[in-house]
């Protein structure tokens, strides 16, 4: 469970909560790449459910910004799949609603993990000049908020370039005792304290080619670990 302060902040947010005892779905009920069949415990969130939830988040974002132009900033690499699907759904809404929001896109690449552990500091290893975001409405798109430290550091970096506004959309928010209490503006799913892979979430750069969000097993962790 999250801390009391986190639960209080999250109460105003809209998200799907996946319980700690959620059993998920057997692997043999889904199409899993052969090379990962022995490395996963179960499917936790099927791709179809992710797709539907992303569509609702897109609608919420369009309603929030109204006629304001936005820059959608993708946090690579893990966020690219959620980012692509979210932008596509906003574009569909732009074509089929009475009003639309103008979008530009930008990218930043960060690193804060090795194996299962956060390194404790954010490392910007790729991206355009963030000065281009000065005076603009920025929507940061992330795959997962874990402890929240990485996002807090990114928001501090963002504040230095003086955007007009900054909001954060994260597909997943993890319940972890290590959380600093940060809650994003848009949340797809609140998930248990498990190491999840798939839908572009990786374990040392593997599993990005897995369509569903799954729980990695001990065999997968051992097979794809980085030896130090």
pLDDT, tens digit, 9 for 90 and up, residues 175-218: 999 999 999 999 999 999 999 999 999 999 999 999 999 999 99
146 included as an active-site residue: yes
Cα atoms in the Cβ-side hemisphere of radius 13 Å centred on 215:
17
Distance separating alpha carbons of residues 95 and 190, to the nearest angstrom? 30
Q: What is the pLDDT of residue 99?
A: 80
Work out the pLDDT band at 132, boundaries 50, 70, 90: confident
Say which of 39, 85, 143, 146 is annotated catalytic. 146
Exposure b/e, 107-129, CB count within 10 A at least 16 = b:
bbbbebeeeeeeeeebeeeeeee
Q: Are residues 196 and 116 in contact, defined by beta-carbon separation less than 8 angstroms?
A: no
Q: What is the pLDDT of residue 125?
A: 62
The gap from C-alpha 83 to its chain's centroid, in whole angstroms, comes to 8
In 10-164, beta strands by DSSP E: 16-17, 40-45, 70-76, 103-114, 117-127, 137-145
Q: Are residues 89 and 153 in contact, defined by beta-carbon separation less than 8 angstroms?
A: no
pTM for the model: 0.86
CA-based nearest residue to 110, from 70, 158, 49: 158
What is the rounded average pLDDT of the residues 43-55? 97
What is the rounded average pLDDT of the residues 137-154? 92
Q: What confidence tens digit (pLDDT) does each residue in 75-117 have?
A: 988 889 999 999 999 999 999 887 889 999 999 887 665 445 5
Distance separating alpha carbons of residues 188 and 45, to the nearest angstrom? 11
CA-based nearest residue to 9, from 195, 160, 190, 162: 190
Distance separating alpha carbons of residues 177 and 186, to the nearest angstrom? 21
- Kindly list the structural domains of the chain, giving each domain's residue range(s) and its CATH number in brackets, ordered by start: 48-192 (3.40.50.2020)
What is the rounded average pLDDT of the residues 69-78? 91
């Amino acid at each position: 469970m999250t801390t009391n302060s986190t639960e209080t902040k999250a109460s105003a947010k809209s998200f799907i909560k996946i319980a700690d005892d959620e059993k998920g779905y057997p692997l043999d009920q889904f199409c899993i790449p052969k090379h990962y069949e022995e490395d996963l415990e179960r499917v936790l969130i099927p791709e179809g459910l992710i797709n539907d939830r992303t569509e609702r988040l897109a609608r919420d974002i369009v309603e929030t910004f109204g006629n304001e132009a936005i820059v959608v900033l993708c946090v690579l690499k893990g966020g690219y799949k959620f980012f692509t699907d979210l932008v596509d759904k906003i574009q569909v809404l732009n074509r089929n609603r009475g009003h639309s929001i103008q979008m530009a896109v930008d990218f930043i690449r960060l690193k804060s993990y090795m194996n299962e552990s956060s390194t404790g500091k954010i490392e910007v290893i790729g991206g355009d000049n963030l000065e281009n975001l000065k005076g603009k409405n920025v929507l940061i798109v992330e795959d997962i908020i874990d402890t929240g430290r990485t996002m807090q550091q990114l928001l501090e970096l963002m504040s230095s370039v003086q955007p007009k506004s900054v909001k954060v959309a994260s597909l997943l928010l993890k319940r972890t005792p290590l959380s600093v209490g940060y809650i994003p503006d848009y949340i797809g799913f609140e998930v248990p304290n498990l190491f999840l892979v798939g839908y572009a979430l990786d374990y040392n750069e593997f599993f990005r080619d897995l369509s569903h969000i799954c729980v990695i097993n001990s065999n997968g962790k051992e097979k794809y670990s980085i030896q130090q």
